[in-house]
Amino acid sequence: MAIEKDISRREFIKSSTALTTGLVVSFYLPRADAKIVDRFEPGNAQDKFEANAFVIVKGDDTVVVLSKHLEMGQGVYTGLATIVTEELDCDWSKVTVEAAPADASRYNNLAFGPAQGTGGSTSIANSWHQLREAGATARAMLMMAAAKEWSAPLADIVTSNGQVFHHKSGRSLSYGQLVEAAKKTTAPKSVKLKSNQDFKHVGQNVIRKDGAEKVNGKAMYGMDLNLKDKVYALVLRAPLFGATLKTFDDVEAKKIKGVREIFRIPQGVVVIADHFWPAKMARDKILAKWDDEEALHKSTADIREEYKELLGKSGEIAATHGALAKSKEDAVQTVEATYEFPFLAHAPMETLNCVVQLEKEKCTLWTGDQFQTGDQMTVAKLTGLSPQKVIINTLMAGGSFGRRANSKSDYIAEAVEIAKATKTNSGRPIHVIWTREDDIRGGFYRPFFMHEVSAGLTAENKIAYWDHRLVGQSIMAGTAFDKGGIDHTSVEGLSNLAYDTESLQVELQSPKLQVPILWWRSVGHTHTAFSAETMIDELAHLAKIDPAQFRLIHLTKHPRRQEVLKQATLMANWGRKLPAGVGLGVAVHESFKSFVSQVVQVKVSGKTFKVEKVWCAIDCGIAVNPDNIKSQVEGAIGFALSAALNGEITLKDGHVEQSNFHDYRPIRIHDMPQVEVHIMASEADPTGVGEPGVPCLAPALANAIFAATGKRLRKLPLTLT
Amino acid sequence: MNTSAQTSTTVQVTFELNEKSVTVDVDPSTPLLWVIRDHLNLTGTKFGCGMAQCGVCTVHIDGVATRTCVTPIGSVAGRKVQTIEGIHDKVAQTVQKVWVEENVVQCGYCQSGQIMSAVALLRSNQKPTDSDIDKAMGGNLCRCATYARIRHAIHVAAERILKA
Ligand code: FES
Ligand code: FES
């Protein structure tokens, strides 16, 4: 097995900065590992050409693209297949996608450093050059093979749609027919990539590669894995964050037919049963006593009071420019506001679950894993095995929104603890399943945040100063991504505020709290975009300048923001006369290197309101799969709307008050507005798509409600009182 | 564990699943969902909430879209159950085809349930209005919020079925 050294981010950038489309490029591309690839098709190792770690051409002309990224709905399988198909020049209808194994030596996310994982809307962006090169290299090797077969000069060989041609002699072979010959070639040191204007697949609307299997029930999610001798496990976890198990009584639980074993692990009491239902019935009957002396007993109201007090103190400076005190003096009009953002659960539709099989020499996991090599290290540590002996099979995930990527590997570590502690089920595949209640009450929320902003205008209606304080837990603290100092994800979107200001100051306090927290689709932008984009709206009104115009005046250094803003307002026919009770609001924000502007139309009746329509312009560089980008933006708008309307996890004496979809309520079909998405034409390399559609929705909605009612809402979820 | 101490009871239940007669021996409180998934190995029907809030567990019982997570197996005896794996009529085929063409799915986890609800709707209502759709689909959550495409796909499918 050839383990090649990984390509560090810096090396990648170095080798790719000289790279523009149409030029010859050369950089490191990891090789395939036949042993791992074979797991997809045992006994059929002969009839395929593994060009590299990402591309396999088979004798039957099919092409397998190996995805180092988790498919969790964002369409990455289709995107990666598109990129490979473009450069390999193969037949799109014969391309399938498989999950790559967990392997830090070959499948790193080039935006993360030496770790394989999916997040930060980086999948297409970090794969763009890598997979183009993977496809182009495979194509070059097939051409070399044909040239040799036909004793023809390489320069006379061309390809088209999965075939190699030598026009002079009228000969042709399909890629599949060249598999044997291609195996004998060596990858060229450099390959020529296509010019953008020659793209045939990138930029086209295609049908998702995972579409068919997701409408007939065949798609295999972690939840669906059926293995011989598999048993089911549920865990009774502590009711308070930080509580630990004292004792438990399982007399009644043991009476349930199908229960195999009940025991304790650090996380709580485990029930293993033949099936899910007996495990669930038994778990409901366990009486546990918890030691809650060290546990969190606070209510949301207590946290609010503490954070309010902290807002009165100065924090660590996250950004500063200009002379704040002087600019404050220059200001002729000022506005002050306080904002509050609740804890939010991800609540992916497929609850967390993991199948683990711990044997003497290895540990195998099957799950919709979002952070493979981090989890691999965690499991290696827990089991004492080497990381190579920890096999992670990544299955499709029924959503994630960040929840399945956790540098604490929470649910995976727990599954391994169960496999370690079992006495009568060792060696068996154990499927640990979370119920929805486990999920909603299980923590790892978007942190509770409060902001306080004071801003002022000069006599010329320019922004004199912007003084912004934030209080909220740090997501990165104590993780592998912790660089010390300011947690960038707490202030992203504010510390780099795009609006021209004479003076800017952003101060952050990151108090510690026992509530486990995590990144949640668009991370810090979930709150920073709200305060920034509603405050700029307040300033516009103070200046008596149209809010879209006021933004444009203050975005002199940000042409891409200007363009999406102009486009979204154009689509919405901004400035038109509206019936009573109807309002339009706008927001513009950059996140994950993409630029988004949204206009929301809201209709207010009494204390209720309905979002009728959202217009969105997005600039995410080259649009690899335009229809998927639209779909992601539509979904992001619906996801953000759920949070804006209903999303709230609250604590009462330490207990999470919500438990399932009746009290933690994602929007339903009747809440979904019409959405129109425009993708800006671009020649820039692709940037993020999965998350950037989220941040603008809530502020644009709050601004629309202001336009309709004159009321400023500064607390999420948004309610008119 | 000494299983002789296990005093809970099981019952035999026979019903029709995707046109085949099946018999299971389980605790009578077991929801149909878990019988279908764990005992009969049809995993297209999903678990999402366990309390009739999300609709990912939807199947047809005697033709009616039903949440299996709250349907005790005891109540299914002698009845006809159809899951996503067992719907093959013109309406179902059209709905599935349109769903693919319109790129409705994202994570896809809710989509078996969405399709079962949409098929039940279109079998009884050939030309559903938006408010018919809101009513029939209101019990099916989609955390990926594919709702706009679901609505559109139902209209497209309805039109295609009418034309055929
Ligand atoms: S699992 Fe049955 S409605 Fe949610
Ligand atoms: S497609 Fe993901 S929950 Fe509906």
Q: What is the pLDDT of residues A482-493, one digit of tens each?
A: 888 899 999 999
Q: Tokens at residue B148, please? A: 């706009």
Binary contact (B84, A217; C-beta < 8 A): yes
List the single best residue of B39, B45, B106 to mutate versus A (max A Cβ within 10 A): B106
pLDDT for A52: 93
CA of A440 to the centre of ligand 2 (A): 17
Of A257, A424, A641, the CB nearest to B10: A257
pLDDT for A2 beyond 50: no
Kindly report the CATH number that applies to the domain delimited by B87-163.
Answer: 1.10.150.120
Name the residue of chain B whose CA is nearest to A397's CA: B107
Asked whether the beta carbons of A699 and A527 are under 8 A apart, the reply is: no
Of B38, B105, B146, the CB nearest to A275: B38
* DSSP bridge partners of A471: A450, A509
Strand pairing report for A363-367 and A353-358:
antiparallel
- The amino acid sitting at A564 is V
Binary contact (B143, A672; C-beta < 8 A): no
Poorest-pLDDT segment among A105-114, A506-515, B118-127: A105-114
CA of B88 to the centre of ligand 2 (A): 23
Residue whose token pair is 């102009």: A566
pLDDT in tens, A318-369: 999 999 999 999 999 999 999 999 999 999 999 999 999 999 999 999 999 8
pLDDT for A111: 80
Spatial CA neighbour of A609 closest among A637, A565, A646: A646
Residue whose token pair is 């425009």: A678
CA dihedral of A273, A276, A278, A283, whole degrees rounded to 10: 90
ipTM exceeding the 0.95 mark: yes
Of B1, B51, B137, the CB nearest to A669: B137
How far apart (Å, rounded) are the C-alpha atoms in residues A265 and A557? 55
Share of chain A above pLDDT 90, in %: 87
Residues A602-615 have a mean pLDDT of: 97
pLDDT for A1: 28
Poorest-pLDDT segment among A43-57, A171-185, A333-347, A422-436: A43-57
Residues A61-81 have a mean pLDDT of: 94
pLDDT in tens, B72-115: 999 999 999 999 999 999 999 999 999 999 999 999 999 999 99
pLDDT for B50: 98
How far apart (Å, rounded) are the C-alpha atoms in residues A675 and A640? 13
pLDDT for A705 beyond 60: yes
Least distant ligand from the CA of B110: 2
Decide yes or no: CATH 3.10.20.30 for domain B11-85. Answer: yes
Using an 8 Å CB-CB cutoff, list chain A residues near B109: 73, 221, 348-350, 398-399
pLDDT for B73: 97
A347: left (phi over 0), alpha (psi -120 to 50) or beta: left
B26 to each of A270, B47, B79, how far by Cα in Å? Answer: 22, 19, 17
Residue ranges of domains in chain B: 11-85, 87-163
Q: Tokens at residue A576, please? A: 């038109």
pLDDT for A40: 41
Binary contact (B45, A217; C-beta < 8 A): yes
pLDDT for A23: 36
pLDDT for A102 beyond 90: no
Q: Which of B111, B112, B140, B151 most suits a substitution to test ligand 2, by most atoms within 8 Å of the C-beta?
A: B111
CA of A350 to the centre of ligand 2 (A): 9
pLDDT for A33: 44
pLDDT for B2: 62
pLDDT for A104: 82
Tell me if B53 CB under 6 Å of ligand 1.
Answer: yes
B87: left (phi over 0), alpha (psi -120 to 50) or beta: beta
pLDDT for A4 beyond 80: no
Interface size between A and B, measured as CB pairs under 8 A = 212
pLDDT for A390 beyond 80: yes
A292 to each of A93, A241, A300, A403, how far by Cα in Å? Answer: 58, 9, 18, 26
Residues A673-682 have a mean pLDDT of: 98
How far apart (Å, rounded) are the C-alpha atoms in residues A690 and A693? 7
More reliable by pLDDT, A27 or A443: A443
pLDDT for A500 beyond 50: yes
A27 to each of A30, A111, A189, B34, how far by Cα in Å? Answer: 10, 16, 8, 51
pLDDT for A44: 52
Share the mean pLDDT of chain A.
Answer: 92
Confidence of residue A382 (pLDDT cuts 50, 70, 90): very high
How many C-beta atoms surround the C-beta of residue A302 within 10 A?
14
Tell me if B135 CB under 6 Å of ligand 2.
Answer: no
Q: Which atom of ligand 2 is nearest to the CA of A349?
A: 3
Least distant ligand from the CA of A435: 1
Write down the number of H helices and E strands in chain A. 17, 29
Q: What domains are defined for chain A? A: 12-215 (3.30.365.10), 222-293+352-433 (3.30.365.10), 300-344+444-709 (3.30.365.10)
Q: Which atom of ligand 2 is nearest to the CA of A398?
A: 2
Strand pairing report for A231-237 and A268-273:
antiparallel
Binary contact (A214, B111; C-beta < 8 A): yes
Which residues, 6+ apart, have CB-to-CB distance to A342 below 8 Å?
A300, A448, A647, A648, A649, A650, A716, A717
pLDDT in tens, A221-257: 999 998 999 999 999 999 999 999 999 999 999 999 9
CA dihedral of A113, A397, B143, A242, whole degrees rounded to 10: -70
Which residues, 6+ apart, have CB-to-CB distance to A566 below 8 Å?
A552
pLDDT for A479 beyond 90: no
Q: Which burial class, exposed, middle or buried, applies to A133 when counting CB atoms under 10 A from its CB (0-12, 13-18, 19+)?
A: buried
Binary contact (A635, B43; C-beta < 8 A): no
A452 to each of A125, A275, A467, A468, how far by Cα in Å? Answer: 34, 51, 8, 6
pLDDT for A118: 86
How far apart (Å, rounded) are the C-alpha atoms in residues B15 and B26? 13
pLDDT for B8: 79
Of B8, B85, B107, the CB nearest to A349: B107
List the single best residue of A78, A221, A349, A674 to mutate versus B (max B Cβ within 10 A): A349
Tell me if B11 CB under 6 Å of ligand 1.
Answer: no
CA distance B112 to chain A (A): 6
How far apart (Å, rounded) are the C-alpha atoms in residues B78 and B75? 9
How far apart (Å, rounded) are the C-alpha atoms in residues A93 and A79? 14
Share of chain B above pLDDT 70, in %: 98
List the single best residue of A669, A676, A677, A697 to mutate versus B (max B Cβ within 10 A): A669
pLDDT for A43: 45
A80: left (phi over 0), alpha (psi -120 to 50) or beta: alpha
Tell me if B88 CB under 6 Å of ligand 2.
Answer: no
pLDDT for B3: 66
CA of A267 to the centre of ligand 1 (A): 27
How far apart (Å, rounded) are the C-alpha atoms in residues A347 and A371? 18
pLDDT for A253: 98
Q: Which atom of ligand 2 is nearest to the CA of B145?
A: 4
pLDDT for A37: 39
Q: Which atom of ligand 2 is nearest to the CA of B107?
A: 2
Q: Is it true that the peptide bond before A717 is cis, omega within 30 degrees of 0? A: yes
